[in-house]
Structure 1
Amino acid sequence: MITRFVALGDSFTEGVGDDDPGSPNSVRGWADRTAGALARHTPELRYANLAVRGKLMREILGTQLDRALNLSPDLVSVYAGGNDLMRPRVDIDALAEEYDHAVGTLAATGATVVLFTGVDGVEDPVFRRMRGRTAIYNEHVRLIAGRHGATLVDMWAMRALRDRRMWSADRIHLNAHGHTLVAAAVLDALSVDHEVTAADLGPAKILEPARRRAENLAWVREHATPWLLRRLRGESSGDAVAAKRPELAPVDQPGHR
């Protein structure tokens, strides 16, 4: 029985893109949705979410790992490395060594550890360029999961996540549909009965080339350029953000439905 769930990571686990003014940090996300489903089975469940948007793997492991261990979870999720893969240069093998050590530390406590592969960005003209390094990262994650007996949620294999309608306007973060789909996948991987179901969006519309170009230009102007400028200034979207649930607490708090 799961009674203490702690989530570690970056914007993906914080829930960015799944806007909810009633939730801490005004975002909900797959981890909150997963915790809600778990609490319906176990009302005494306590849940903490230490994830902070924009953080690199070393920042996540350096600031969240010990805090998570101190909370003695019996279920812990961790996703780290996504922001590293978006940097111009990244040593994926070195990241994997650090990740392996951290996952081994968590698994040694006896907790169930949940890991994630990265999403296949083949349908996006920008993120398609990251496909090779994401695939290498994913192979490391699969090996780490197997080595430590972790539960793996293979987002690379989730073809529905290639649909842009699962993503927010910035094309970097999942929206409510995407986060719901991931929550259902996590619960399935844990063999938990649940009623979390992603919306059936139907067939995607095929955009005319001119419309597609216009949308791409708008994305560059409104999202890609500001992101690049922050990177050039050495700023992160998480610099002024704190973990939204730093301590274990009941899930049935305002904003956690």
Structure 2
Amino acid sequence: MRKRFVALGDSFTEGVGDDDPTRPNGVRGWADRVAEQLAAADAEFRYANLAIRGRLLDQVLADQLEPALRLAPDLVTLYAGGNDLLRPKVDIDALADRYERAVARLAGTGATVLLFTGVDGAADPVFRKLRGRTAIFNEHTRVIAARHGARVVDLWAMRQLRDRRLWAADRLHLNSLGHTEVAIAVLDVLGVPHELSSADLGPHAVVSRRQQRAENLRWGREHVLPWIRRRLRGESSGDTISPKRPDLLPL
């Protein structure tokens, strides 16, 4: 039984896109959902979430790895590198080398380590262009996991995540439905019984080309341009954010 769960990473693990004003940082996310299911079966369960939105791989490792090790978890989830893949230039092989060194340290503690592949952006005309980078990083992830006895939650294989109805308005983060899908996948990989279920969304609504263009223009204006402005100013969405659960505490 896992009693000490620590989650590391960026916005994906923090829970961005799954808004909940009653929670720290105003978000819930898949990791909270996993923790809730684990806590329901064990009164001694404790959970920490060190993830912060906007963090690059090196920032995640520099700021979160040592604190995570000090917490002595028996279950660790780690996903980082997605923000690096969005940058114009990235050395994926070097990125994977640094990622592997961190995984080796986590696995060396005897904890169960869960890694994630990136989502397949085939259904989105913008993120489709990143498929090659993501696929290469995914293969590194699978090899790293095999070398160090980590488990893999294969988001790339989850075809349901191609459905835009599982994504927030920014198209970069999952909404509550998407985070629930990830939580189900994590619990299934762990072999943990749970009470979560997928939403029955039914068929897609028919959207005209005119509506699609209007939605794309709105997305660009409301989400892409602010992201570009932050990049030009050297800012990150996580600059004023702290980990929402820095200590191992009961739910």
TM-score bin (small chain): over 0.9
TM (normalized to structure 2)?
A: 0.99
- Equivalent residue, structure 1, for 2:160: 160
SS in 2 for 1:78: strand
Map residues 100-179 of structure 1 onto 2, 5 A cutoff: 100-179=100-179
Q: How many residues align?
A: 251
Matched residue type, 1:230 = R
TM (normalized to structure 1)?
A: 0.97
Whether contact under 8 Å (1:49, 1:245) holds in the other structure is yes
> In the aligned structure 1, how far is the partner of 2:167 from the partner of 2:249?
29
- Equivalent residue, structure 2, for 1:221: 221
> In the aligned structure 2, how far is the partner of 1:142 from the partner of 1:151?
9
C-alpha deviation, 1:204, in angstroms = 1.5
Question: Residue by residue, what CA displacement relative to the aligned partner does 1:6-60 show, whole Å, maximum 9, x if unpaired?
Answer: 0000000000000001111010000000000001111210000000000000000
C-alpha deviation, 1:224, in angstroms = 0.6
> In the aligned structure 2, how far is the partner of 1:109 from the partner of 1:236?
32
- Equivalent residue, structure 1, for 2:205: 205
> In the aligned structure 1, how far is the partner of 2:196 from the partner of 2:40?
12
> In the aligned structure 2, how far is the partner of 1:204 from the partner of 1:243?
36
Q: After alignment, is 205-214 or 185-194 more displaced?
A: 205-214
Q: CA RMSD in A?
A: 0.6
> In the aligned structure 2, how far is the partner of 1:21 from the partner of 1:215?
26
C-alpha deviation, 1:206, in angstroms = 2.9
> In the aligned structure 2, how far is the partner of 1:136 from the partner of 1:70?
32
- Equivalent residue, structure 1, for 2:189: 189
- Equivalent residue, structure 2, for 1:255: none
> In the aligned structure 2, how far is the partner of 1:99 from the partner of 1:5?
20
C-alpha deviation, 1:5, in angstroms = 0.1
- Equivalent residue, structure 2, for 1:234: 234
C-alpha deviation, 1:198, in angstroms = 2.2
- Equivalent residue, structure 2, for 1:30: 30
Question: Residue by residue, what CA displacement relative to the aligned partner does 1:207-257 show, whole Å, maximum 9, x if unpaired?
Answer: 111111110011000001100110111100000000000000001xxxxxx
> In the aligned structure 2, how far is the partner of 1:172 from the partner of 1:249?
30
C-alpha deviation, 1:202, in angstroms = 1.1
> In the aligned structure 1, how far is the partner of 2:166 from the partner of 2:100?
30
> In the aligned structure 2, how far is the partner of 1:169 from the partner of 1:43?
37
Where does structure 1 lack aligned partners over 5 or more consecutive residues?
Answer: 252-257
> In the aligned structure 1, how far is the partner of 2:221 from the partner of 2:155?
28
Matched residue type, 2:16 = V
> In the aligned structure 2, how far is the partner of 1:171 from the partner of 1:216?
10
> In the aligned structure 1, how far is the partner of 2:136 from the partner of 2:206?
31
Matched residue type, 1:153 = V
SS in 2 for 1:7: strand
